[in-house]
Structure 1
Amino acid sequence: MIFTLGNLGSKLISFFLIPLYTNALTTTEYGVVDLIATVGTVAAPVLTLNICESVMRFALDKDANKDKITQIGTNLLLIGMVVGLVIFPICHSFNRISQYSVFVYFYVISLAASQLYLCDLRGKELLVYYSIGNVLHTFFIAALNILFLVVFKGGIEGYLNAYIIANILTATYALIMGKGYRSFSFSGVDKKLLQRMIRYSIVLIPNSFMWWIMNSSDRVMVSSMVGIAANGIYAVSYKLPTLVSTLTTIFNQAWSYSAIREEGTEDENEYNNKIFRTLIGIVMLIGIGLITFMKPFLSIYVAKEYYVAWKYTPFLTVGCVYLTLATFMATSYTVHKDSFGYLFSGMFGAIFNIVMNLALIPLIGVYGAAIATCISYMLVFVFRLFHTRKYIRYNIKNKEFIVGSAILILSACLMFVDNLFGLTLQCALMLIAIYSFSDVWSPMLKKLLKLKGKQ
């Protein structure tokens, strides 16, 4: 519930900012800011050796010295600020973003800082403060974007300024609430702990890069092969499908704590599969529901020139459903500090994604990028299903997975029947899914009503 309050509130604000962006920025401008955000997503963990992941995971150990862990994270962030100066010459080598090199630098550094100190709050199990930090971060982004885009008409620079300031304010909040300011010292660093943390997190750098390839490299390729305006439309097509992973990420954040505590218990396998089956039913329903109402919603949600984005959402939604299930299974890697498991699965999907993008984008344009992303997500799911068997044997031979997959894919195909008949069939399929998975959502609904009745 704590994670829901923090994440859902922030994601809803972000969700309703899309109409602001699509009306305040042209497709070309939105393509540029999305490209910068894409670069920043991979640059931040590279500059800090992805240390925020170690800060969160190592702090959850029973005998953890949380202050020393935070100190190591802070020191690597400070070093990253110096190394990050290399961003300037790199940006100047790309015409599209060369004039925004200063903004890119501060965007990356501020993003790294906010991620680090929010992870510090999670590691210290200050979950209420962590959730409030997420809400504040999005509130700052919303308020500052309204100020810079609507009032000042700042365009690309206004958008980036809003994110930079929001990141800095969030990092400051988390730093104060987690008392991370006590860690600003290069003396007395625990070198053995430093080595263990870096050994864990450094493997996650190529993993982050591999996920960047699957999540974002297609946007770079679309920009260069099709055009920056096409990337702006494709970026919008990503927003709704990622709601699937957004909603279940809330659950996975809480689940990771439970999975770590349950490690080594007698019923660990049975317990994990019980939760996994419930998650399958929920995520399939969310995916089917999004696909069913995608087109009518987009017609009122975004500016007219962005509506064509619906054509790419079926592939991305299906992919995000399987990615969500793969993310749940990856908890086994976190529990056992198996960062190589993340790397191998990410590498597997990334290589396939690059090959498919290079082959399909020149032939069928943006459709190629969407199809490549969908298939690579599904392959990561299959890889982790087998690779995590050394920890947990996840079971997919159940009604939720088999029936859900069939309805999800069929509903995605029906999106291209662009008339009332197609929408009617989609609604019928959604009703079948709701009925089929009633043993998943019905007990949850009863528990919620029971809790409400007690209040």
Structure 2
Amino acid sequence: MNRTKRLIRNTFVFGIGNIGSKLIQFIAVPMLTLYLTTKQYGQMDLITTIVSLSLPFFSLCLYDAILRFVIDDPRSEVNIISTASFITGVMIVLLFFVLVALLPFNFENISLYRLGIVFLILQIIESLLAQYLKALDKNWAYAMNGLILSGLILFLAYVMFQIMNNRIHAYFVAQIVSYLGSIIFISCNLKGHPIFRIDAIQQKWMKKLTKYSLPLIPNQIMWWVMNTSDRLLVTLFLGLTTNGLYAVATKIPSLTNVVVTIFMQSWQLSSFENADKEDKSTFFSEVFNNLVFFLVLFSSIVLSFLMVIMNSIVSRDYFGAWIYVPMLLLGGLFSNISMFLGTNYLVGKSTNGIFRTSIMGAALNIGLNLLLIPLCGANGASFSTLVSYFVVCVIRFIETRRTVTISIDYPLFISATVVLVMQTLILYWGPSYLEFVCLAGLAIFNHRYLTNMIGLVKKIVKNRE
């Protein structure tokens, strides 16, 4: 199977699982805003944010190392997974001691933090096993796991809301039970592939795995800082109610992440498989420019229908969150481009580059948040996110040219910038019909990419048949 067909096939497979799971998560927004007050939503989001921050520290990002090295050296599969499982087990024991240490205490919300630790432990296990499943080319099972996990969370959250008075506790209980179900599903699909053998643990793999994965921790923290640290600072400066609105606003740009999550899962595999090909720069450039157009078109569509989307998915109390969406959407665009460029560091096993750019992005984001949130409110946080992602994007593009030379389609970038900026200004001050004029102009000016998209859809359908 040639590389384009394999990329299409994997995109289709991951697409089924991810579109379903992301849609389920999106459907969950109206339910959460119905059952939780803005303050409760802000508190729930705060605990989730802390767990997200803790995940790369306590998992050591070993799940990324498993994917890279199992694909690169399948003969050492048992040694790789056994060594990674051992290291992960040590980190889980540390978390267990933290949980035990918290048991005697009874200060406000302590029970939420206990649930958060259990939630974190299960996330670490699930992430490790899910990436192992993907490394073994069990892509259908990997995709179905995402769909099952999201479906369980939605269903169990609804059930728990009916039977538990404390609805924040109910949400995290639903998450915990859902992740347990996911771990059981993955384990069933790993039958015949040992997850841990004590005699297969090797010191050389401890060094290789940690050398590769440890620099990725700041990268994960950077994404956390630019995605969620602003919500902590919004809470600090503006309160839980404003954070509840801002947290809902971040769900709208996550529509773009539906596309990118699907694509990046298949692209990561393709980039590793084509790392040593002579024409990799041509292949990477073609994929890059088509991805950028897709993301820009998707963002333009969301901006055009933003008010309709807000009216459809949130209750009246949350409608004012729309004002934060445009900046977050533009920031998400550069975030996704940075994610694509970050793959080039992984291709060259140069994860120190990810470390360096991550630190730069995180420091810039925190500094801008501290400066702009007190001056501009929550939109100061969204603007800080946009600027930080843009800077990281530029740095990664320059640095990764040493590994892969990507040729940018500048007319596409210029037209995209003009259209998205105009649509943002129109949302605040202009007549709404101009949004659709901008959208049409973008599609017509870049019609060849639109033709490529239509051709890709036809290939996916043909590949399915």
Normalised by the length of structure 2, the TM-score is: 0.92
Q: Deviations over 1:58-94 (max 9, x none)?
A: 1111444222222122222221222113367689999
Among candidates 430, 437, 445, match of residue 439 of structure 2: 430
Q: Secondary structure at the match of 1:218?
A: helix
C-alpha offsets along residues 314-342 of structure 1, whole Å, 9 cap, x if unaligned? 00000111111111111111211221121
* Partner secondary structure for residue 98 of structure 2: helix
Kept in 1, the 8 Å contact 2:82–2:200? The answer is no
The Cα of 1:374 is off from its aligned counterpart by 1.0
Query: Is residue 115–residue 171 contact of structure 1 (8 Å, CA) maintained in 2?
Result: no
State how far apart, in whole Å, the 2-side matches of 1:72 and 1:453 are. Answer: 41
The 5-angstrom pairing of residues 246-257 of structure 1 reads: 246-257=258-269
2:452 to 426, 437, 443: 443
- Aligned-residue offset at 1:433: 1.1
Question: For each residue in 1:248-296, what CA deviation from the matched residue of structure 2 results, as whole angstroms up to 9, or x when unmatched?
Answer: 2211211121111212222111111111111111110001111111122
Q: Determine the structure 1 residue equivalent to 2:140.
A: 128
Letter in 1 for 2:446: F
- 1:448 positional shift: 3.2
Q: Which blocks of at least 5 consecutive residues in structure 2 are unaligned? A: 1-11
Within the candidate set 391, 400, 416, 2:403 is matched to 391
Summarize the alignment of residues 225-236 of structure 1 with structure 2, pairs less than 5 Å apart.
225-236=237-248
The structural deviation recorded for 1:443 is: 3.2
| Residues 93 and 290 of structure 1, relative CA distance in 2, 3 Å threshold | farther
Structure 2 residue aligned with 1:42, among 45, 53, 57?
Answer: 53
**Aligned match of 2:30 in 12, 16, 19?**
19
Match of 1:60, SS? helix
Match of 1:273 among 275, 285, 294: 285
Residues 9-28 of structure 1: CA distance to partner in whole angstroms, max 9, x if unpaired?
A: 11111111100000011111
Deviation at 1:195, TM superposition (A): 1.0
Q: How does 1:122-201 map to 2 (within 5 A)?
A: 122-179=134-191, 182-201=194-213
- 8 Å contact from structure 1 (residues 9, 135) kept in 2: yes
Moved more, 288-297 or 312-321: 288-297
In the TM superposition, what is the alpha-carbon distance from 1:345 to its structure 2 partner? 1.4
SS class of match (2:18): helix
Tell me, which stretches of 5 or more residues in structure 1 are unaligned?
none
Is 1:339 the counterpart of 2:348 in the alignment? Answer: no
Residue of structure 2 in register with 1:81 after alignment: 92
> Structure 1: which amino acid aligns with 2:43?
V
* 1:357 paired residue number: 369
Alignment TM-score, normalising by the size of structure 1: 0.94
Residue in 1 aligned with 2:5? Answer: none
Render the CA deviation track for 1:16-57: whole Å, top value 9, x for unaligned: 110000001111111111111111112122112121111111
DSSP 3-state at the match of 1:415: helix
Instruction: Quote the sequence identity (%).
Output: 27
The 2-side partners of 1:326 and 1:378 are apart by 8
Cα offset, 1:352, TM superposition: 0.5
Tell me if structure 2 keeps the 8 A contact 1:203–1:340.
Answer: yes
Distance 1:150 1:440 in 2: 48
**CA distance 1:453–1:356, change in 2 (3 Å):** closer
CA contact (8 A) 1:32 1:96 kept: no
Higher relative contact order (CA 8 A, sep 6+): 2
Q: Which amino acid aligns with 2:139?
A: L
Residues of 2 paired with 1:446 and 1:205: CA distance?
A: 38
- Residue 8 (structure 2) aligns with: none
Q: CA RMSD in A?
A: 2.2
1:397-429 superposed Cα distances (whole Å, 9 cap, x missing partner): 432211112111211122112xxx521111110
Equivalent residue for 2:71, pick from 46, 51, 60:
60
> Structure 1 residues 188 and 67 mapped into 2: Cα distance closer, same or farther (>3 Å)?
closer
Of 68, 71, 79, the match for 2:82 = 71
Counterparts in 2 of 1:124 and 1:411: CA distance versus 1, 3 Å: same
